[in-house]
Structure 1
């Protein structure tokens, strides 16, 4: 179940590429799961509005109205969505929190803009104890300008250390790539803010998805994509696909993936193939779907798995999982292993756009774990982990337990780390032979397709080591997860 308690707070910053648009469309369908505090248009090295006074021409700039246009389409399906989840924000509210930030040129952070002022005021006046995730789908420049304004106004005041510490403890910046220099040149040097940096895995849900094994990409193909686009109302109809005739004003011709000429020059793509949602992993990461992805970046979930950078409050997605389809460890599989689940969930929610009664569509199974999701265990004992599940529409439920051995700290053979190869090797799937050795999973599950699973705890597990068990409960359309962490005494 997508839990509404303790929803994550977030502010989206975006530069308006076609994949940003697709990611925003999906985000609207999941907006009941978050407290969306702001939406800010920004620039990047790939997209900017230009500055005539400085002789800077626009580059691949798609304008500032597209967000409002998408919200207008959301408004058409909003009454239906509210039938299925009451926490969907109103279209009027979403428009009220939309601001134009620093958009003139790549890394522009000299000006105070409506977007930077919104961020500045929000951070200064924020009293909510929850973390604040600033999603960065483009450049960090508007966020950097807001932080710079705060520094300029408060750095000489007696309470500056307290202000700075409060912001640093509360804010998490999730960066998709580094799309300008303002993080490295300003934020990283002046602020100790936690950063989740998706440097390369997003590509596999973006323009490099053709590199994903075919078994993992079945729901990125034309037939499936058209079934999503064409059957769920006006909002989904706007979902962009390869060769769909969609033309973005301001975009370069070679980047117009909707036109026939793109198909002619890129024969690897079929008409109505998936294009990209490279920014969606930024909110998959803190989506409260039971996988506890954001509890610890090393746990893994829809947003991938991350490793901590030594000596920094930064995590990068270089953690590796074993991909059985190509029989090697790779970082991208921490994301691509979830593609079927991610897409099926998307289509399940899309059905809410057209189902006019609660019983016409599926909803998330309600699942809990008896004795809690963190349980202490003793070496050598046999434990039973019991779940309790029900379906809101009284649909039949199927259960599947499995051991996420790469996320567990108890391992008979250590999982390779990202330090064992270079990041470009990750991006292009080149790994050394030693990373291709199949893993030996020491944890055996009994009755893994029932509510109650049985597991024998290894005799040699050390105190504090963990075993991560994942439970998937599905009604055939939507799936609820639970992660149970067994901790050795």
Structure 2
């Protein structure tokens, strides 16, 4: 099969126009595979994040909902808290599926709502420590499916640690490498010592520890108005004790909305931005005292823009959540708003697009053909996203508020990659967004 890079090179030799080549990223029908491990009962924010995950469940292939432990909840006994949330989803399911295809059935979600490690940290990892959760992680990665599996650690990481431990003990080195190559770990704050153990012993694994997960959240007033008064799922969305939805950035990182490729962790999306170079000493939360014994261990961490890399998209993700909660209580499609479809240069997928162009040339950015399923009026905003770009100067997008924009590439931009974002929004209530990213690789 011809690779995208080779295709782009060959196309450049035969076409005089600017060549638009799709990066090897998820398409319109692509769903990320996710397993959420959650220390339910430690803080109400896990319940909050689970409600948001459930109302956007059609966008993901959720392969596991695992009750986990962590430094704030060192023992677990059953799935009752999780079952209550899935039961609320079941009451809302008939409405949700009216508004979008792909919502999983309640019966399916119940089948993957299981117990993980009942004990804390590396103390519950090793011989004879297998749990339904760790076994599910292994089975998921082993599926004949080329897509990676993202294990989201909302609490501790010892479920995925046990899965990796067993594979290491029972398979060859090449089989272990294959397993790790399909696995991704997104760790919220570090809530046991298992993350450090994984990072120390398996440095080839893509392991993100997100520590900048506060400061992006919606207000209590927003939650009162748009979330908590909306039917069964609103009723199980609790008031915050500390910060709201601290675990949500995990699945928001892989949300397939056209904004980013999750494997390109520095691009930036609803879940934040992360450095390409792993760093030592990204410590867990303060009750985890023994991580220095694993030093040095290396993880991908947040970029310096921290939570602002999430908050820059706040209108989009806030309105998305509010609209989906509307769906959960609205049985008629025509009585709710739905997301527009962003088309860039004729491409209607959600893929990141890449363009090759010469320094000093003018690049045209076209969203002609974009549409809205409700017939709403669309607004366009093209912008230069400087943080993930390798060019350090300023750039201005001409006619950035129209469907057809342009940008003149600086003469000194050769060898650089420039990121441009289309934010397409409708005038429905609430206003909903679709995104596309165009990366210009300057020759």
TM value normalised by structure 2 = 0.83
Q: Aligned match of 2:125 in 102, 109, 121?
A: 109
Distance 1:359 1:299 in 2: 35
Partner of 1:404: 385
Is the alpha carbon distance of 1:39 and 1:458 closer, same or farther for their aligned partners in structure 2, counting shifts above 3 Å?
A: same
Gaps of 5+ in 1: 50-60, 155-159, 210-218, 243-256, 258-273, 321-329, 413-441
Q: Aligned match of 2:274 in 303, 306, 309?
A: 306
> What is the CA distance between 1:102 and its match in structure 2?
0.8
Kindly report which structure 2 residues correspond to 1:19-418, keeping only aligned pairs within 5 A, or say none.
19-49=45-75, 64-107=79-122, 108-110=124-126, 111-123=129-141, 125-154=142-171, 160-186=172-198, 188-190=200-202, 192-198=204-210, 200-205=211-216, 219-222=218-221, 224-242=222-240, 257=241, 275-310=243-278, 314-317=299-302, 319-320=303-304, 330-370=305-345, 373-388=353-368, 389-412=370-393
> What is the CA distance between 1:187 and its match in structure 2?
5.1
> What is the CA distance between 1:190 and its match in structure 2?
4.1
- RMSD of equivalent CA atoms: 2.1
Is the alpha carbon distance of 1:478 and 1:47 closer, same or farther for their aligned partners in structure 2, counting shifts above 3 Å?
A: same
Paired residue total: 387
> What is the CA distance between 1:13 and its match in structure 2?
0.8
Instruction: Verify the 8 A CA contact 1:293 1:303 in the aligned structure 2.
Output: no
Partner of 1:58: none
Distance 2:239 2:27 in 1: 31
Partner of 1:432: none
Distance 1:137 1:165 in 2: 25
Instruction: Verify the 8 A CA contact 1:293 1:302 in the aligned structure 2.
Output: no
Distance 2:331 2:79 in 1: 32
1:369-409, CA deviations, whole angstroms, 9 ceiling, x for partnerless residues?
A: 11662111111122221113110011111111111111211
Instruction: Verify the 8 A CA contact 2:65 2:114 in the aligned structure 1.
Output: yes
Distance 1:4 1:454 in 2: 25
Gaps of 5+ in 2: 1-25, 280-296, 348-352
1:411-447, CA deviations, whole angstroms, 9 ceiling, x for partnerless residues?
A: 13xxxxxxxxxxxxxxxxxxxxxxxxxxxxx211111
> What is the CA distance between 1:104 and its match in structure 2?
2.4
Instruction: Give the SS at the match of 2:214.
Output: helix
Instruction: Give the SS at the match of 1:301.
Output: coil
Partner of 2:8: none
